[in-house]
Structure 1
Amino acid sequence: MKIAVLGAGGVGGYFGARLAAAGYDVTFVARGKHLEAMRRNGLRVSSPLGDLVVETPKVVEDVSAVDKVDLVLVAVKLWDTEAAAKSLKPLVDQGAAVLSFQNGVHKDEILAKYVPKASIIGGVCYIAAVISEPGVIAHSGAMQKLVFGEYDGSRSVRVEAFYQACVKAGITAEISDNIGRLIWEKFVFLVGLSGTTASIRKSIGPIRENPRTRAFLLQVMDEVVAVGRAKGVDLPVNFAEDRLAFCDTIPATMTSSMHQDLERGNRLELPWLSGGVAEFGAQLNIPTPKNTAIADILELYAAGTHQ
């Protein structure tokens, strides 16, 4: 497989590096100091599962410089999805499939505005990884998992091929026959984790231990379930309780990328997380008071504070 990775941050950088180290033809699309460092020193990954270095990664500044590929992995921040989707048409016209591992439930709808739905594979990823410094990806914890599948549930040749690539690269991977529901299942947890850790400014440990903040976390996730069910997603009524039990199993120090972006003064994915839930709720006449409050609390930080 020839693979392009659009966005070489924590997600794209980590999984792309694993695939490149396994011998796959991977082209990274990166920018700024990260791009310069990758060209100068290679792409480095520090991980409890083993460090690795891609000495001379194929890295370009723009999608237009990517040669014909079989698969594009999209891992840019959500606010860049529209621009990314527009740029992918030439690669898709040459036969590339598109697989987004971005956060949330809006991503594939945005992609489908610019590329045929048949080109899109659904996917979710589970990892805690960041750019610790230009050219270096820091992976924390042992979790590094990709789940993906065709929206019609079929086990296609392209999905099987990418699964085999992941296995060879040492990436935990699964093929799902109901990827649409799985994306929403992750969204329930993601909105709960991101909304509470960012608005409370604490990791998940203290939040789940205090009765009031624990109840708040459950209510945030319960609103996502209600919205998802109203949109026709096959989520159990009590799925938020299932995700709260899952929150009890993760490291107490775990936080969200939105919380980290907030602390660094970076732009936030708020409009597609709690903000997106509040927007869906308004459209569907479903009450979302907790997610609306989170969106209101974080609104002044959403554009970043570096400006």
Structure 2
Amino acid sequence: MRILVIGAGGVGGYFGARLAEVGHKVVFAARGAHAQAMREKGLTVLSPAGDLHLPEVQILSDLAEPGTFDLALVCVKLADTEAAGELLKGIGAGPGTAVLSTQNGIEGEAILGRVLGRDDIIGGATYISAHIKEPGVIEHVTPHARIVFGELSGQETPRARAILEAFSSAKFESELVGDIETQLWRKFVLLAAFSGACTLRREDCGAIRDGEGRKLYEALIRETVAVGRAKGVPLEEDFEGKVMGNIDRLPAAMKPSMLIDLERGKPLELPWLSGAVARLGDELGVPTPASHEVAEGLADKVKGSA
């Protein structure tokens, strides 16, 4: 399968490298020092699942004729989603290209759909902690790496089954589901709460789990679940408890990507995480004081700072 990975950070770099490892033709859309290091030294992945080095990596901007792709994995930050869609339009990826969003939040699919057309889009959620350790090097932290994906229509299509077959040979877990919206919200509840609590308090998982930050984390979970249910998402009755306990199984040193971005002075995905919960809560009449606390407490960091 010919695969375009838009964004070669922790998520895109890891999954793209694992797909290339088993023989798929992977092209990365990357930029800056990371892209230059990949050109010169290839791409290295440090991982509990086994380290990997790809000595030669194809960068999209280096190709004279990009051609068509069977699959485009959109792995950019949410602020760059529209630009990723425009990139796909600009290179003429072709009507046969499936566009799978692996982004955080619950709005990436809709943004891509407005640019490319909803029928081209496949929803996806990833479960992985990985980041760029240095240019050309991806560090995978957690023992697991998983993609859950599905057609927005809920149907099991030939293209979705082909993607599952391609994923199944690589060193990560994959699952094709019929109700991807629910799966996106299941991850969103966890991510919005974990990233919001850790980033506002500047604390890692262990500090949040064992300290005062746990109260904030649990309040953020309750609010996000309430907003999801108000939108009609069928989250099970005991879902809050299940998610609250998840933090006890994570590595103490684990940090959400939003906290890592804050520490590095990079822009935050806040408007699409706790900010989205606060915004949707206001629209639906659901009180979200904890989400507002996070959104307002980090508002001056959204555009990044040193």
Q: Same fold (TM over 0.5)?
A: yes
Name the CA distance, whole Å, in 1 between partners of 2:69 and 2:270: 32
1:60 Cα deviation from its structure 2 partner: 2.1
Q: Percent identity?
A: 45
Q: For residues 254-305 of structure 1, what are the alpha-carbon distances to aligned partners after superposition, in whole Å with 9 as ceiling and x for unaligned?
A: 2200011111111100110001111111111211100000011111111111
1:237 Cα deviation from its structure 2 partner: 4.2
Q: Which moved more, 1:34-43 or 1:165-174?
A: 165-174
Q: Which moved more, 1:136-145 or 1:157-166?
A: 157-166
1:48 Cα deviation from its structure 2 partner: 1.4
Change (3 A) 1:295 1:64: farther
Name the CA distance, whole Å, in 2 between partners of 1:206 and 1:46: 25
1:146 alignment counterpart? 147
Change (3 A) 1:291 1:64: farther
Q: With structure 2 as the length reference, what TM-score do the two structures score?
A: 0.95
Change (3 A) 1:131 1:149: same
Q: Is the 8 A contact 1:181 1:235 kept in 2?
A: yes
Name the CA distance, whole Å, in 2 between partners of 1:249 and 1:81: 31
Amino acid paired to 1:182? Q
2:80 alignment counterpart? 80
1:186 Cα deviation from its structure 2 partner: 0.2
Q: Determine whether 1:109 maps to 2:110.
A: yes
| SS of residue in 1 equivalent to 2:141 | strand
Change (3 A) 1:64 1:154: farther
Q: Is the 8 A contact 1:10 1:137 kept in 2?
A: yes
1:269 alignment counterpart? 269
Count matched residues: 305
Name the CA distance, whole Å, in 2 between partners of 1:114 and 1:281: 26
2:26 alignment counterpart? 26
Name the CA distance, whole Å, in 2 between partners of 1:287 and 1:118: 34
1:65 Cα deviation from its structure 2 partner: 5.6
Unaligned runs of 5+ in 2: none
Runs of 4+ in 1 over 4 A off after TM superposition: 62-65
Q: Which moved more, 1:41-50 or 1:165-174?
A: 165-174
Q: With structure 1 as the length reference, what TM-score do the two structures score?
A: 0.95
1:217 Cα deviation from its structure 2 partner: 1.0
1:204 Cα deviation from its structure 2 partner: 1.7
Unaligned runs of 5+ in 1: none
Name the CA distance, whole Å, in 1 between partners of 2:65 and 2:216: 47
1:4 alignment counterpart? 4
1:163 Cα deviation from its structure 2 partner: 1.4
1:54 alignment counterpart? 54
1:207 alignment counterpart? 208
Amino acid paired to 2:232? G
Change (3 A) 1:91 1:169: farther
Name the CA distance, whole Å, in 2 between partners of 1:262 and 1:280: 24
Q: Which moved more, 1:58-67 or 1:36-45?
A: 58-67
Name the CA distance, whole Å, in 1 between partners of 2:102 and 2:62: 19
1:62 Cα deviation from its structure 2 partner: 8.3
Q: Which moved more, 1:73-82 or 1:245-254?
A: 245-254
Q: For residues 47-99 of structure 1, what are the alpha-carbon distances to aligned partners after superposition, in whole Å with 9 as ceiling and x for unaligned?
A: 11111111111112389963200110000111001111122235454420100
Aligned-pair RMSD on alpha carbons? Answer: 1.6
Name the CA distance, whole Å, in 2 between partners of 1:159 and 1:244: 32
Name the CA distance, whole Å, in 2 between partners of 1:292 and 1:63: 45
